[in-house]
Structure 1
């Protein structure tokens, strides 16, 4: 049976830095339930944390320099998936050659001025070697100070499909026009309600991981991790009561989503304040400290936050203040309010 193309999909990664962190962490996680029979490995020494840090910082800097009233960046990256059906399984060396062709195609089609090697290093690429092996490619939508607005143009996707066909044929000697599907019946789809529950549980697990990793494995972070894991176990117990407890599950999901978003905003603000202190920029120090206090108040005054969240805020601020003072810098510690959660911090 002849097919027109191998499967290539693309979409914008939603929810700004939070959505990008969740999705990139999912792609790199060998422990995720969807990756039980999957071997995951990176290409070109791609590191998910380096990619996230560089992409988020460059996007924040781009928005900060946008003084003409243009729209803020809503999607931090574009996701591409290049999928081969069974029984085809390229080697790591073959995937590397295929990936290089695809990155070159994007670089050429978007007429990017920067060197293609630098562009390639700004992307994240890894392989999920499973029954239907595929290449995952994340491309930052802001690169070298420019908005790559044409990343999701139809003609770019068409060129990538054509290049994927050609590269698989060239490097693997596999012709898509001679492919015969091994499976014609993929079984029943999940019910909408079951799918929604699984999605809620997965997002809660991602939230747990992000909150924990943000805190440098401090004692407070360990307590917060254990508490969040307890909440996840409660969600799993309530699975048998899905029909009657759906609203409660979605409430837990909303709470965890708020905490993740609030902590990411707070962390970004804290980094800007620390940098302004190191640069000895008086006006920026004042503005950024006020922003840190505002982001901290959003967490500590929220009904969605509890004592452990307040302790995490104070722990993060304390760690940065201590580091700055050790470097001989005079620091006015950001203050925050709380809703009678802790009497020992102000």
Structure 2
């Protein structure tokens, strides 16, 4: 195994999709989390990020209108990254370890987007889902410095984030993906770890496809406890 798993996905359905996904990340009662996942805040508040992104989208649309620029509105307001470790490791990252891993990952995101550290901090949300296969969630606004950061969903940034994740895990808990042995081999090219990651991805996809029955308001987002990096 060359890399730990990194899943990168655009959060679709504009404001509604963003609200759904942020709520999913902090919802301890969701069927994917209840009685099996401890949700730990690392940085940012979901509701505040939601409000900021919606404002940034409106601000960008107004500026484009003033300049008489047409074109389609962006369908995805933010990018989701999920950094996952398998369940049968001798050691899982502590809260402090995950914070240090986050710092390294943010350095890579900053390098690709070209924004300042302060601008990036205003436009992210990070938390930990501590479970059998623990993972770190990072949500990044696609609009920073009044421009759409298309770099966030390119293959090159995912490749760089995989290398960064490998390095950060090795640096913090001294574990390398090369030393990982699957719990159970399902086939020559499809092990139990990959199977679990597919389940994780599919469950997120299913959730994002659901629409809220009630009108979208800031109350659709549950507030999280603000952390610091």
Q: What is the distance in 1 between the residues matched to 2:6 and 2:100?
A: 17
Q: Which runs of 5+ in 1 are unaligned?
A: 190-194, 215-346
- Partner residue of 1:219? none
- Partner residue of 1:207? 213
- Partner residue of 1:171? 172
The 5-angstrom pairing of residues 71-150 of structure 1 reads: 71-88=72-89, 89-112=92-115, 115-150=116-151
Q: What is the distance in 2 between the residues matched to 1:127 and 1:102?
A: 14
CA contact under 8 A between 2:47 and 2:218: conserved in structure 1? no
Shift of 1:57: 1.1
CA contact under 8 A between 1:80 and 1:137: conserved in structure 2? yes
* Aligned partner of 1:34 among 32, 35, 47: 32
Per the alignment, do residues 211 and 60 of structure 1 end up closer, same or farther by CA in structure 2, a change over 3 Å counting? closer
TM-score by length of 1: 0.54
Q: What is the distance in 1 between the residues matched to 2:152 and 2:15?
A: 18
Q: Which runs of 5+ in 2 are unaligned?
A: 187-191, 197-201, 221-229
Shift of 1:203: 2.8
Larger Rg: 1
Q: What is the distance in 1 between the residues matched to 2:175 and 2:30?
A: 30
* Aligned partner of 2:46 among 28, 39, 48: 48
Aligned with 1:35: secondary structure?
A: coil
Moved over 2 A (4+): 183-186, 206-214
Aligned with 1:19: secondary structure?
A: helix
Shift of 1:66: 0.9
* Aligned Cα root-mean-square deviation (Å): 2.6
Q: What is the distance in 2 between the residues matched to 1:211 and 1:173?
A: 44
Q: What is the distance in 1 between the residues matched to 2:169 and 2:140?
A: 21
Q: What is the distance in 1 between the residues matched to 2:176 and 2:218?
A: 46
Q: Counting helix residues as a fraction of each chain, which structure ranks higher?
A: 1
TM-score by length of 2: 0.79
Aligned length: 200
Shift of 1:212: 9.7
Q: Counting strand residues as a fraction of each chain, which structure ranks higher?
A: 2
Q: What is the distance in 1 between the residues matched to 2:140 and 2:168?
A: 19
- Partner residue of 1:61? 59
- Partner residue of 2:183? 182
Q: What is the distance in 1 between the residues matched to 2:14 and 2:78?
A: 8
Q: What is the distance in 1 between the residues matched to 2:174 and 2:30?
A: 32
Per the alignment, do residues 212 and 162 of structure 1 end up closer, same or farther by CA in structure 2, a change over 3 Å counting? closer
Say which is worse superposed, 68-77 or 96-105, in terms of deviation. Answer: 68-77
CA contact under 8 A between 1:63 and 1:73: conserved in structure 2? no
Shift of 1:60: 1.5
Q: What is the distance in 2 between the residues matched to 1:41 and 1:210?
A: 25
Per the alignment, do residues 65 and 211 of structure 1 end up closer, same or farther by CA in structure 2, a change over 3 Å counting? closer
Aligned with 1:34: secondary structure?
A: coil
Q: What is the distance in 2 between the residues matched to 1:181 and 1:210?
A: 42
Per the alignment, do residues 208 and 5 of structure 1 end up closer, same or farther by CA in structure 2, a change over 3 Å counting? same
Shift of 1:121: 3.2
